[in-house]
């Protein structure tokens, strides 16, 4: 974000009075920066489209960078013209930083120790507790590393608790630096490795003897960095010279690996009997390879295929315990929990421990020493916990509170300790320890999030909305218990609808504050997501992608027709791949929405394959490729930029992007904004582009949400 406003633009930006300080009907104008519209006609298979503002794809060109800076300055002026935005930001910041236990990213180690990060001012310190009930000790303060500008982005302790592998991030740097921390000496050892990005895929994985770590390494870490041709590397404590040994790489040891696949290594315990590699990308189903632990110790990396993506085994990276392998698979439209014996693995005929049915599908599972636990999700919105019983009826476990989503944590498959996190729309997540003998839950104070009694009047409900083709679409609605159905309230609706990712219930205090003011927040669980299983995902992919935005529009219309909101006071907010769903929903029914906002949104999906350095395998899998005629036509129909029309009136728009985004080219939101500005000749509506020049594909949960909510409320309050 630009910390200043360019003087050359000061004369061009007219004063923007916010609703709180002016008459609601007062007109404002915006003097947007000009840039030539270099339009290029692209043609494939005799079918053409216009690539408007193609020059914005040259994101390293100084004139293009300048245009993005000028757009950002206008946006900053919108927020800084009065003190109102800063007051709202400060309030949301106080909510998100309300007094709470500072522990985050807790790791329960197999040795019995507990590690966690704790924020101290602008850095994350690494601490640990040797045993339950003991006091915490500081292990590492990132301010001592190099020039003090690095922070701990990720960490992984060794199984014996003697070492920690840490990823050190620096703002503006694409890759993280890998450091090894000696916990007893409390200092780092050896030389750093500079080409890792563990949060993107794979993490750091310790070997059972705690002497080596494996991780995904990236060879292209120079000036023109990218994440292609990655490989699995090994880095051992007896040779910490800053170089790592490739052990799973295309062209070596009989391995053939797609340049856009990530080879994720996996051990889970000191008692692991095999090393696994999971290779894939956007698909739900990956290939898996393995070697016995004896081969790993001997340095024999003759990888064997365990299963392929065609076996429809989910990439949740299964669990091995005592030579048995537990995994999730898709079988006859249902998600199953299965097991095979690795001595004679038959993935076509596994032992089925549980099978989902209809709207109730397997979500997650954890294998502990003596038990197997799994969760079942109904429409991806409500979750339930069970314990598997061999040769008997599985036991439902009563939860301490209703849960929209349940996630697990544990020490290892050879330990009985298990923690569960319960999440929902109306309160912060809560962690509980599940006692293995009594089956009772104990609330965990470490890492406890704050309670918000001021939001106790908020509830959530689920309705089903009939879409364009008769399909019933679940929609979560968050509102006050005493919500007034008088068609005067404002509302925000969101949707994603891609990659089989479910919009599971989650709590965010700024959203709760918006709702508490008498407004509503809705999440449309549209096709393309995973709420009702893989078929729900497929029904919003490629040639069926239109279902995603038509489902969203049906849900939006439902809110208006049923009196939840004022018919002109609905805002739409989306993120990432949800930009396609949201952008096309607005293109098709701009009259439904008074505001459209996006966080790092994909708005020009057809152009991904044309641009250097961006991952187009994700796009090809989920949306289509220009290399096939039918798929090319699908991309044309779903691209928000291509389908914008100068003959329609579009809602007030704010796009928040990272200029260093490695997944979605910033040119897409740039073109979208430029076209909207060029269509609105009187410049009486804000079409704004907020550019964070040091950011990647990320969302700031305080600043970005403060801007989204402030912009949405300000613009919706103008509509009658």
Residue 128, SS3? strand
pLDDT tops 60 at residue 298:
yes
Residue 49 lies in a domain: yes
Q: What does the pLDDT look like over 178-202, one tens digit per residue?
A: 999 999 999 999 999 988 999 989 9
Q: What does the pLDDT look like over 669-705, one tens digit per residue?
A: 999 999 999 998 776 789 999 999 989 899 999 999 9
pLDDT tops 70 at residue 222:
no
Residue 137 lies in a domain: no
Confidence of residue 14 (pLDDT cuts 50, 70, 90): very low
Whether pTM exceeds 0.75: yes
Residue 705, SS3? helix
Burial class (CB in 10 A: 0-12, 13-18, 19+), 332: exposed
pLDDT of residue 614: 74
Residue 304, SS3? strand
Provide the token pair at 354. 């549980």
Range of the domain at 657: 7-95+458-716
**CB 259, CB 228: distance < 8 Å:** yes
**Which one, of 429, 567, 448, lies nearest residue 504 by Cα?**
429
pLDDT tops 60 at residue 658:
yes
pLDDT of residue 28: 65
Residue 690 lies in a domain: yes
- How far apart CA 1 and CA 692 sit, in angstroms, is 4
pLDDT of residue 6: 29
From residue 480, alpha-carbon distances to 262, 489, 516 in Å are: 44, 11, 6
Q: How confident is the model over 36-44, as a mean pLDDT?
A: 96
Provide the token pair at 551. 């489902």
More confidently predicted of 96 and 469: 469
Residue 314 lies in a domain: no
The DSSP call for residue 81 is: S
Provide the percentage of residues in the chain whose pLDDT is more than 70: 95
pLDDT of residue 25: 41
**Which one, of 275, 208, 220, lies nearest residue 248 by Cα?**
275
From residue 425, alpha-carbon distances to 115, 462, 708 in Å are: 28, 11, 19
Residue 526 lies in a domain: yes
Provide the token pair at 27. 């007109």
pLDDT of residue 242: 87
Residue 604 lies in a domain: yes
CB atoms within 10 A of CB 360: 17
Q: What does the pLDDT look like over 431-452, one tens digit per residue?
A: 999 999 899 999 999 988 899 9
Name, in order, each residue with C-beta under 8 angstroms of 435's C-beta and a sequence gap of 6 or more: 441, 442
Residue 47 lies in a domain: yes
- How far apart CA 630 and CA 624 sit, in angstroms, is 9
pLDDT of residue 130: 86
pLDDT of residue 27: 53
From residue 31, alpha-carbon distances to 22, 519, 654, 657 in Å are: 20, 32, 16, 21
Furthest CA-CA distance within the chain? 78
Sign of the C-alpha dihedral computed for residues 14, 15, 19 and 25 taken in this order: negative
pLDDT of residue 237: 95
- How far apart CA 399 and CA 443 sit, in angstroms, is 12
- How far apart CA 225 and CA 221 sit, in angstroms, is 5
The DSSP call for residue 33 is: P
Q: Torsions phi, psi of 9, nearest 5? A: -95, -10
- How far apart CA 423 and CA 502 sit, in angstroms, is 14
- How far apart CA 561 and CA 491 sit, in angstroms, is 13
Q: Identify the CATH number of the domain in which residue 611 sits.
A: 3.40.50.1820
- How far apart CA 690 and CA 73 sit, in angstroms, is 8
pLDDT tops 60 at residue 5:
no
Which DSSP helix (H) or strand (E) runs through 216? strand 212-217
Count of domains for the chain:
1
Residue 202 lies in a domain: no
**Which one, of 569, 616, 615, lies nearest residue 713 by Cα?**
569
Write the Ramachandran bin of 391: left for phi over 0, alpha for psi from -120 to 50, otherwise beta. Answer: left
pLDDT tops 70 at residue 4:
no
Average pLDDT, the chain: 91
Q: Cite the beta strand spans of 312-470 per DSSP E.
A: 319-321, 324-331, 334-341, 351-355, 360-367, 372-378, 382-387, 395-397, 405-410, 418-423, 430-434, 441-443, 458-466
Q: What does the pLDDT look like over 70-87, one tens digit per residue?
A: 999 999 999 998 899 999
**Which one, of 407, 427, 453, lies nearest residue 507 by Cα?**
427
More confidently predicted of 128 and 171: 128
- How far apart CA 603 and CA 21 sit, in angstroms, is 34
**CB 582, CB 601: distance < 8 Å:** yes
pLDDT of residue 225: 63
Name, in order, each residue with C-beta under 8 angstroms of 456's C-beta and a sequence gap of 6 or more: none
Q: How confident is the model over 531-541, as a mean pLDDT?
A: 92
Q: What does the pLDDT look like over 279-295, one tens digit per residue?
A: 998 888 999 999 999 99
pLDDT of residue 21: 33
- DSSP bridge pairs for 305: 289
Q: What does the pLDDT look like over 594-606, one tens digit per residue?
A: 999 999 999 999 9
pLDDT tops 60 at residue 540:
yes
**CB 571, CB 716: distance < 8 Å:** yes
Q: What does the pLDDT look like over 345-387, one tens digit per residue?
A: 999 999 999 999 988 999 999 999 999 999 999 988 899 999 9
The DSSP call for residue 217 is: E
Residue 599, SS3? strand
Q: How confident is the model over 645-656, as a mean pLDDT?
A: 96
- How far apart CA 322 and CA 338 sit, in angstroms, is 15
Cα angle 465, 470, 475; round to 5: 20
Q: What does the pLDDT look like over 167-180, one tens digit per residue?
A: 999 988 888 999 99
């Amino acid at each position: 974000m630009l910390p200043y406003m360019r003087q050359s633009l000061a004369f061009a930006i007219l004063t923007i009075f916010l609703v709180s300080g002016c008459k609601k009907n007062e007109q404002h104008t915006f003097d947007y920066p000009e840039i030539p519209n270099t339009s290029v006609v692209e043609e494939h298979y005799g079918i053409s489209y216009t690539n408007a503002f193609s020059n914005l794809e040259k994101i390293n060109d100084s004139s293009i960078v300048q245009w993005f800076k000028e757009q950002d300055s206008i946006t900053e002026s919108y927020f800084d013209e009065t003190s109102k935005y800063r007051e709202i930001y400060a309030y949301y910041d106080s909510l998100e930083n309300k007094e709470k236990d500072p522990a985050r990213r807790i790791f329960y180690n197999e040795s019995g120790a507990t590690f966690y990060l704790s924020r101290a001012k602008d850095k994350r310190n690494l601490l640990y507790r040797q045993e339950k009930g003991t006091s915490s000790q500081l292990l590492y303060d990132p301010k001592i590393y190099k020039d003090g500008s690095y922070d701990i982005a990720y960490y992984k302790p060794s199984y014996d608790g003697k070492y920690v592998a840490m990823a050190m991030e620096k703002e503006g740097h694409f890759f993280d630096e890998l450091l090894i921390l000696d916990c007893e000496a409390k200092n780092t050892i050896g030389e750093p490795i500079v080409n890792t990005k563990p949060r993107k895929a794979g993490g750091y994985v310790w070997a059972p003897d705690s002497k080596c770590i494996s991780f995904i390494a990236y060879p292209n870490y120079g000036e023109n960095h990218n994440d292609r041709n990655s490989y699995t590397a090994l880095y051992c404590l007896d040779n910490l010279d800053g170089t790592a040994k490739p052990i799973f790489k295309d062209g070596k040891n009989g391995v053939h690996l797609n340049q856009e696949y990530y080879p994720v290594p996996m051990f889970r315990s000191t008692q692991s009997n095999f090393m696994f590699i999971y290779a894939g990308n956007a698909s739900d189903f990956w290939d898996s390879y393995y070697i016995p632990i004896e081969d790993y110790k001997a340095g024999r990396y003759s990888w064997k295929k365990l299963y392929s993506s065609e076996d429809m085994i989910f990439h949740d990276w299964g669990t091995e315990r005592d030579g048995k392998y537990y995994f999730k698979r898709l079988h006859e439209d249902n998600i199953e929990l299965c097991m095979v014996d690795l001595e004679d693995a038959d993935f076509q005929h596994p032992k089925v421990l549980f099978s989902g049915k209809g709207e109730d599908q397997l979500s997650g599972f954890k294998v502990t020493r003596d038990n197997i636990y799994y969760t079942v999700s109904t429409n991806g919105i409500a979750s339930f916990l069970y314990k598997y019983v061999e040769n008997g009826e599985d036991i439902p476990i009563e939860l301490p509170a209703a849960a929209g989503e349940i996630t697990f944590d544990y020490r290892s498959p050879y330990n009985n300790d298990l923690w569960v996190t319960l999440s929902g729309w109306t309160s912060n997540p809560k962690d509980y320890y599940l006692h293995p003998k009594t089956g009772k839950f104990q609330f965990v104070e470490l890492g406890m999030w704050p309670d918000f009694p001021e939001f106790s009047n908020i509830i959530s409900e689920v309705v089903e909305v009939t879409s364009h083709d008769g399909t019933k679409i679940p929609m979560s609605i968050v509102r006050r218990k005493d919500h007034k159905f008088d068609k005067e309230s404002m509302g925000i609706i969101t949707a994603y609808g891609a990659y089989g990712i479910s919009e599971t219930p989650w709590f965010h205090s700024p959203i709760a504050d918006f709702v508490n003011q008498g407004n509503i927040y809705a999440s449309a669980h549209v096709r393309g997501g995973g709420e009702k299983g893989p078929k729900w995902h497929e029904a919003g992919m490629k040639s069926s992608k239109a279902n995603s935005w038509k489902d969203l529009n049906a849900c939006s219309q439902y809110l208006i027709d049923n009196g939840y909101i004022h018919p002109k006071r609905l805002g739409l907010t989306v993120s990432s791949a949800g930009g396609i769903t949201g952008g096309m929903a607005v293109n098709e029914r701009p009259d439904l929405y008074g505001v459209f906002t996006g966080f790092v949104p994909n708005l020009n999906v057809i152009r991904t394959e044309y641009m250097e350095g961006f991952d187009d395998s994700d796009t090809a899998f989920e949306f289509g490729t220009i290399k096939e005629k039918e798929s090319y036509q699908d991309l044309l129909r779903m691209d928000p930029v291509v389908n914008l029309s100068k003959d329609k009136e579009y809602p007030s728009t704010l796009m928040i992007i990272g200029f260093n985004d490695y997944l979605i080219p910033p040119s897409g939101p740039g073109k979208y904004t430029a076209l909207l500005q060029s269509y609105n000749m009187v410049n009486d509506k804000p079409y704004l582009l907020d550019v964070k020049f040091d950011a990647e594909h990320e969302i700031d949960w305080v600043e970005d949400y403060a801007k989204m909510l402030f912009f949405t409320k300000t613009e919706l309050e103008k509509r009658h």
